[in-house]
Structure 1
Amino acid sequence: MPALPKPMSAALAVLAAVSLWPGSAHASAAALRFGYESGTRTSGHAELGVNACCPHSIQVDDLPRTGKYAIRSHLKYGDAAVAGGTRAESHTMDIESSHFRTGKTVYYGFSIYLASSWQNDSREDILFQWKPWRDKCEADKAPSAFLSVQPSGKWRLRVNSDGNACSTPESVRKVSFDLAEVKPGQWHDFVFRFRWSHDSKGGIDGWHQTHKSPGWRKVVTATGPNTFNDDATTQGYLKWGVYKPAWNTGPTDVESRTVFHDNIAVGTTFGEVDPTAG
């Protein structure tokens, strides 16, 4: 009988799992993907919605992560408010296969490009959101999570949760994770695994790379609540583009923001949502 290999130490086993798992995942078709290869801002999904005040807000552009096209979101200070805020965003409100709630485990992948002319601002820019509807007993509802560019020049994942059946601004638990340095002039690739839960069963894993420095690096591992204690009819959906909360009340150091998104995907494995797979 051939000799059995020596067992790997626990520490090495953990290291191997973190280092090799993303790279060893096989690409396959995502449950839902927006690659914009149709050349339209709905990416071939008629139900994909937009929150756009103006013709310049949401446009297909030939600066892709892969393929031929990506979506460009452009926001100017002074643009009319849409859906209660200063934003230029696409959303999956009417696409059921994108919806999430407590008890689901979902992988998300996407790529974001910031032009080389991007300048740090005194206030954050929110570029991707996981947004639940509010319950009937709630006046409003924060996103379960959102990805932003911070004045510090960092990518930050903010996570909001509440175990109460009716959430209020005072009852929301807020946790933030700085993920990586913002590098203008590069495509930033992200994959997140959310184990959605309003209690201790929740968990998040996240990976990041840039197209100029390929090689997935794990940037967040967290356990604990990451969404809201919603009623049985309430779910969440996705939003991507630019949302500038500070511009709801006044100017900041910059007067416009332009960002590109490509290969937004929802699935059940890393390989399904890998944004570099196109």
Structure 2
Amino acid sequence: MTLSPRSRRFALLGAAGFAAVALAVSPSLVAVADENTPVLRVEYESGTVDSGVAGLGVNECCGYSIDTTTLSRNGIGAVKHEVRYGDSAADGPRAESHTETIEATHFDSGDSVYYGFSVYIPSTWVFDETSEDIVFQWHNYKDSCDFKDRGPSAFLSVHTNGQWRLRYNSDSAACSTETSVVKQAQDLGAVKPGQWNDFVFKFDWSEGADGRIQVWHQTSKALGWVKVADRQGANTYNDVPTTIGYLKWGIYKPAWRTAPSNVSTRAVFHDNIAVGSTFTAVNPEGGPRGS
């Protein structure tokens, strides 16, 4: 991936040094030997919720919140996240995995990064006409002067209209306020429960006009990548160099913070989460060990 001056601090070990550290820690977090090698791939082939990746974190409240499953995109494993009305983890109704402490996955303005993952919506899914369900987030810390509920740089949700919806936020101001954040959204196509959805996102992260988001999508029942979005413009925040962004996947139901909705349980499945510098590096279709 292309690193900004802020994020380049994580690459100072060099490829050889990083490889020695990463491979000693985790088989799924590897140095970038070439552009088609991801810096992170989470495949859940180990049968554990951390997928054998050192530092992979979870937000869970209960024994059912996060578990591995054999309902996989390919290979033998995937992860299931489940949240029920009344659950609370990390101050909200969520069950999520995250890369908060995995430096290789952190992003900042100026970075150009590809992200890939597969997500499965069960065939029993009932669309909630009152509130969306967030299944992937490009989350951020905040500067000390930013207002409390600034929101992540971007997230993917199952929207109330039955569409995949990408929402993204930006602010060129050094200190974000409730009125300075620009919120945008784009639908990416109809959600089709009962099949795996493969996504590849490329973010050119920027709080300015040079930012860009490109999105490709296919399903396991209709292979063939389709470019479903190409948006130019700001897509993140003007933060200080020590304020990082990281990834979260699972299920988050923000409306349940204040009231119930027409569903009481949500469960989704994820597989093949990857971060890298090319489409090939993060392609979730390739699956575990190129299968």
- How many angstroms does 1:28 deviate by? 4.1
Q: Deviation digits for residues 105-132 of structure 1, max 9, x if unmatched?
A: 0000000001100110021000000011
Q: Percent identity at matched positions?
A: 56
Partner of 2:7: none
Matching of residue 97 in structure 1 with residue 104 in structure 2:
yes
Q: Deviation digits for residues 136-165 of structure 1, max 9, x if unmatched?
A: 112423110000001110000001000111
Matching of residue 118 in structure 1 with residue 125 in structure 2:
yes
Q: Secondary structure at the match of 1:277?
A: coil
Separation (CA, whole Å) in 2 of partners of 1:126 and 1:249: 16
Q: Secondary structure at the match of 1:275?
A: coil
Return the TM-score normalized by structure 2. 0.85
Q: Deviation digits for residues 198-226 of structure 1, max 9, x if unmatched?
A: 01110011000000011000000010000
Given candidates 250, 255, 258, the residue that maps to 1:249 is 258
- How many angstroms does 1:191 deviate by? 0.2
Separation (CA, whole Å) in 1 of partners of 2:178 and 2:154: 15
Separation (CA, whole Å) in 2 of partners of 1:103 and 1:55: 39
- How many angstroms does 1:252 deviate by? 0.3
Q: Deviation digits for residues 5-59 of structure 1, max 9, x if unmatched?
A: xxxxxxxxxxxxxxxxxxxxxx943111100111110011120000000010010
Instruction: Provide the aligned length of Structure 1 versus Structure 2.
Output: 252
| Contact 2:147 2:178 (8 Å CA) reproduced | no
**Where in structure 1 are there 5+ consecutive unaligned residues?**
1-26
Partner of 2:56: 48
Separation (CA, whole Å) in 1 of partners of 2:38 and 2:75: 16
Given candidates 203, 208, 218, the residue that maps to 1:199 is 208
Partner of 1:174: 183
> Please, what is the CA RMSD of the aligned residues?
1.2
Separation (CA, whole Å) in 2 of partners of 1:107 and 1:48: 19
Partner of 2:193: 184
Partner of 1:224: 233
Given candidates 207, 210, 223, the residue that maps to 2:219 is 210
Q: Secondary structure at the match of 1:208?
A: strand
| Contact 2:154 2:168 (8 Å CA) reproduced | yes
Separation (CA, whole Å) in 1 of partners of 2:268 and 2:119: 7
Separation (CA, whole Å) in 2 of partners of 1:139 and 1:38: 40
Return the TM-score normalized by structure 1. 0.89
